[in-house]
Structure 1
Amino acid sequence: MSAQSPSAIPDGFTPTGTIASPTDRRRVVFATVVGTTVEWYDFFIYAFAAGLVFGQLFFAPAGDGFAQILSFFTVGISFLFRPLGAFLAGHFGDKYGRRVVLMLTLVLMGVATTLVGLLPTYAMIGLAAPILLILLRIMQGISAGGEWGGAVLMAVEHAPKNKRSLYGASPQIGVPLGLLLASGVMALVNLPGEAWFLEWGWRIPFLLSVVLILVGYYVRRRVEESPVFAELAERREQTRMPIVELFRKHALLVLIAALVFAGNNAVGYMTTGGFVQRYATDPAGPVGLPNAEVLGAVTVSGVSWLVFTWIAGWTGDKIGRRNTYLIGWVLQLVGVFLLFPLVNTGDIGMLTLGLVILTAGLGFTYGPQAALYTELFPASIRFSGVSISYAIGAILGGAFAPTIAQALVQQTGSTDAVTWYLAGMTALGLIATLLLKDRSGIPLGPDHEAEQAKSPIYGLAKA
């Protein structure tokens, strides 16, 4: 029995997963960009605040050094709950549709973010403050775990076959757009001075989330359900237990796909997780730049990350997802080795240059991810497959990257160990990519489940 009543495939859609109307295509792209931007704005302002003020406001009794490690730990702990969000979103997304899950994750993220902006500090309510902060961060993690899979499937399953990577880049650029918006707002609220920012200013970006959530919710309501899911529902072919099916037949594929993302995510979280901001602004450290200048540099890098992600989406349709990734891993490795030597000059221009170079590689290892993941999994368990792979990759990659980096610097007194850690994660992503076949253009609809179910891992099955 179908989990939802059968209905005709929406007007303007074809059963192959493309949209007949250019207007509807633009609407889908716009909705995925706006919704993902709002979600990641919320996620990133927490990471920025963790790097700049949460150590002082919520963990001060632990002492300066350990307080900062605890603050970064709260950034990472939310990643442990991303798989829960991915499991829930994947299960309900494969049974009830992509669209309803996207609406719920957006609201959950917005509520959690707004409440952080209203949260009393340790000085006001004691130990309850960090406990409540962690609980709200967990809510953000659950939301983020479910958001990405739904957004990319809405984009890629709607796309023409020869433009899947480009369409899939639309939710991907929502991440650098979220970074750009978050760092820009944080830079503005830093302008009146660090004392004002520490007392009240840090709350403003969190409270602005209310407005952004309303906009994102309105935009997403206007988008029709994915045509692939509509066809599954019409045929009553939704899988009853999609997660069980996923791990029974595709567990190794989930792990390899997760490692691909881990290689990107660990490096990306040097900026999005707040480590570079904290390292570069620490008055007791070797750089000691003003908060506003460093946040401005991160804002510039958000623009370059957006541009390179979009270019990579376009490139993925021209030369394939796998080849685009391979270019990206080389560029990312170059960026990793240049980042800290440029940051350590203490010059804001050199720091900006280091971040921009790094984002070239990050863009090329992120832009084609939506299309790559969508084409790896069969239609009936696709939401579960892409969501859980992404969530596990986030844990293995970025979850505790800022915490690890902070501990390495405190232990060794330099950033060399951080560079080699990031280089190792980049190499891991490269190896995982080499294990996968490129399935660009594979049919996505339920008529082709047998073809989709063949393993894309080299040496396991012929595709």
Structure 2
Amino acid sequence: MGRRAGIASFIGTSVEWYDFYIYGTASALVFGQLFFPVATPAVGILVSFATFWVGFLARPLGGILFGHLGDRIGRKKTLVTTLLLMGVTTVAIGLLPTYASIGLWAPLLLVLLRVVQGLAVGGEWGGAVLIATEHAPKNRGILSGAWAQQGSPSGQILSSLAFTIAAQLPDEDFYSWGWRVPFLASAVLVVLGLVIRLSVTEPPALEQVRKSGNTARFPLLDVLRSHTLLVVLGVFACSIAFSAAYFKNTFAVSWATNEVGFDRETFMTVVLVASITQFVVQPFGAVLASKFDVRRVVTVLLLAELPAMPLMFVLISTGSFAWSVVGMIVATIPHVMFYAVVAGVLAQSFPARVRYTAISLSYGLAGTLLGGTTPMIGQALLTASGSIVPVIGWALATVLMSLFGVRALLARAPGPDDDEPERQTALAGSDEK
């Protein structure tokens, strides 16, 4: 069941992230022109990125809502709900009339649908991580959590591929109907995800909580009362997981196509290559963390990202396809290997009775504060200064946030209400080796 749970987690998060990433790409390429045409191009992109952020604003609410359901009624039922909600919303965006057809209703409906997307993905990630980690053998929580994390590069590959193909169309066709195809294709992926997800049972950890009568009546209140500091550290730990991703596949797409001089299909190919690299390399972060001291592994990976992130921007600024690919790959490797580890670290930092709510809240708040704001802050800094240097400065700040957060999180011993002794062993990693 552990392997089946991992596969179900991977398939489900792939679909969810595909849906979420295609919105980010569309916000960089088309939404400014089609839904906010009254603004100047730069302002239109900034407003478009603001709607991108709206989805992240809703994520903590989704984490609280679906975390409550996941801790109370079960992981499986909750995950089926989030997958359906995300799929229906994404298809609806693909059918949405533009500003030219219905005026102000178009951006208003776009924002509303983005909010629903945020609610869905806010409840998806935590449950997917738990389906994988709570079915995992003892001491393999971090390694199993990497299954859920693989959904991110898979979704990115699918979304990049979809828009790379759509971008081959003539401008008239691309802006009239081509951009809609990636959204409508989500329906097929959702059906596949549901078939896989319905075959999984509830994790043993949750069943133990139910049998003991220790189910949390109000998980959020329990989290805020007993685990607030861990949630805050979790937010910091997750910051680079969000900021690096959206610097690459959202802000960089806009910057490269509007400022540097890339055409959209060429730079989407750069993003696609980076996404494939992520898919191949990312699991090795979890492998390293399962074999060596996890604190040392995450420290080395994040320190490596400090020079890699500025290098990416410098190489993209050359306007060279080859150097841009090199920059993207170099910046991708350290942060995605860290991303593979952070899910397991978070899952093992909270007791099972409130785990869904706690990790969803940590991850959702990180997305709101440090993920969804990334393209918007990046564009604002670029517009205000006319230079990419302040953007690089902000990128480096988010790396340091993660370094502080994850080390502090790992340094904290499990609390007295730890209901699973194996969590202590897993958190210690291979310190005993």
Confirm or deny a common fold (TM above 0.5): yes
- Corresponding residue number in structure 1 for 2:303: 330
Q: CA deviation at 1:276?
A: 0.8
TM normalised by structure 2 equals: 0.94
Residues 44-63 of structure 1: per-residue CA shift (max 9 Å, x gap): 00000000000000001022
- Corresponding residue number in structure 2 for 1:288: 261
> Identity of aligned pairs, percent?
37
Q: Structure 1 residue 345 and structure 2 residue 322: aligned?
A: no
Q: CA deviation at 1:234?
A: 2.3
Q: Structure 1 residue 361 and structure 2 residue 334: aligned?
A: yes
Residues 278-322 of structure 1: per-residue CA shift (max 9 Å, x gap): 11111xx2x211111111111110011122321101111111433
**Is the CA contact 2:345–2:410 (under 8 Å) kept in the aligned structure 1?**
no
**Is the CA contact 2:241–2:336 (under 8 Å) kept in the aligned structure 1?**
no
Q: CA deviation at 1:135?
A: 0.3
Q: CA deviation at 1:343?
A: 0.2
Q: Structure 1 residue 410 and structure 2 residue 383: aligned?
A: yes
- Corresponding residue number in structure 1 for 2:50: 73
**Is the CA contact 2:248–2:271 (under 8 Å) kept in the aligned structure 1?**
yes
CA distance in structure 2 between the partners assigned to 1:332 and 1:349 by the alignment: 20
CA distance in structure 2 between the partners assigned to 1:68 and 1:346 by the alignment: 21
- Corresponding residue number in structure 2 for 1:319: 292
CA distance in structure 1 between the partners assigned to 2:319 and 2:294 by the alignment: 37
Q: Structure 1 residue 55 and structure 2 residue 28: aligned?
A: no
* SS of alignment partner, residue 158 of structure 1: coil
Decide whether aligned partners of structure 1 residues 444 and 48 sit closer, same or farther in structure 2, where only a CA change above 3 A counts. Answer: farther
**Is the CA contact 2:54–2:115 (under 8 Å) kept in the aligned structure 1?**
yes
Q: Structure 1 residue 194 and structure 2 residue 167: aligned?
A: no
- Corresponding residue number in structure 2 for 1:434: 407
What is the identity, as a one-letter code, of the residue corresponding to 2:114?
Answer: R
Give 1:180-329 correspondences, 5 Å limit.
180-272=157-249, 274-282=250-258, 285=259, 287-329=260-302
TM normalised by structure 1 equals: 0.88
More helix by share: 2
CA distance in structure 2 between the partners assigned to 1:77 and 1:193 by the alignment: 30
- Corresponding residue number in structure 2 for 1:20: none
- Corresponding residue number in structure 1 for 2:67: 90
Q: CA deviation at 1:164?
A: 1.9
Q: CA deviation at 1:380?
A: 0.9
Comparing 187-196 with 377-386, which one deviates more in the overlay? 187-196
* SS of alignment partner, residue 60 of structure 1: coil
CA distance in structure 1 between the partners assigned to 2:420 and 2:324 by the alignment: 51
Q: CA deviation at 1:400?
A: 0.9
5+ residue gaps, structure 1: 1-23, 457-463
- Corresponding residue number in structure 1 for 2:149: 172
CA distance in structure 1 between the partners assigned to 2:124 and 2:195 by the alignment: 16
CA distance in structure 2 between the partners assigned to 1:312 and 1:430 by the alignment: 15
- Corresponding residue number in structure 1 for 2:431: none
**Is the CA contact 1:76–1:399 (under 8 Å) kept in the aligned structure 2?**
yes
CA distance in structure 1 between the partners assigned to 2:169 and 2:31 by the alignment: 19
Residues 189-213 of structure 1: per-residue CA shift (max 9 Å, x gap): 1112233211110000000011100
Comparing 378-387 with 438-447, which one deviates more in the overlay? 438-447
Q: CA deviation at 1:442?
A: 11
CA distance in structure 1 between the partners assigned to 2:146 and 2:295 by the alignment: 15
What is the identity, as a one-letter code, of the residue corresponding to 1:121?
Answer: T
- For residue 401 of structure 1, the aligned residue among 374, 385, 400 is 374
How many pairs were matched up? 426
5+ residue gaps, structure 2: 429-433
Residues 114-153 of structure 1: per-residue CA shift (max 9 Å, x gap): 0000000000000000000000000000011100000001
CA distance in structure 2 between the partners assigned to 1:444 and 1:269 by the alignment: 37
What is the identity, as a one-letter code, of the residue corresponding to 1:123?
Answer: A
Comparing 312-321 with 83-92, which one deviates more in the overlay? 312-321
What is the identity, as a one-letter code, of the residue corresponding to 2:310?
Answer: F
What is the identity, as a one-letter code, of the residue corresponding to 1:162?
Answer: N
CA RMSD, 1 decimal: 2.1
Residues 397-444 of structure 1: per-residue CA shift (max 9 Å, x gap): 111110110111111111111001100111111112232235899999
Residues 310-361 of structure 1: per-residue CA shift (max 9 Å, x gap): 1101111111433221122112212211011100010011111111111112
What is the identity, as a one-letter code, of the residue corresponding to 2:14?
Answer: T
Residues 57-82 of structure 1: per-residue CA shift (max 9 Å, x gap): 00010221211100011111111110
Decide whether aligned partners of structure 1 residues 315 and 441 sit closer, same or farther in structure 2, where only a CA change above 3 A counts. Answer: farther
**Is the CA contact 2:251–2:378 (under 8 Å) kept in the aligned structure 1?**
yes
**Is the CA contact 1:320–1:438 (under 8 Å) kept in the aligned structure 2?**
no
